[in-house]
Amino acid sequence: MKLFKKTYWLIYPILIVFFMLIFDLIYQTEEFYLKAFVSGFVAFIISPRKKIIQTQTGKTKQITWIFLKKSIILD
């Protein structure tokens, strides 16, 4: 989890590239803008979210993701 705390922001670009490759293999279109838009939209939906929540001790940053059972709290 320590690695995920440091590199969670890399997931979004990796997902875009991954979905562009999959989209290219399945549909084989030449329209780059279409591939980029669809891949970016799907990556945005699946990517982790960073929220600032108010606790008794003050504001803390929290990362939630669809594939994680618990949220991760950043220091």
**pLDDT the model gives residue 9:** 82
Task: Say what the pTM is.
Answer: 0.72
Cβ atoms 52, 37 nearer than 8 A: no
**pLDDT the model gives residue 18:** 92
pLDDT above 70 for 1: no
pLDDT above 70 for 11: yes
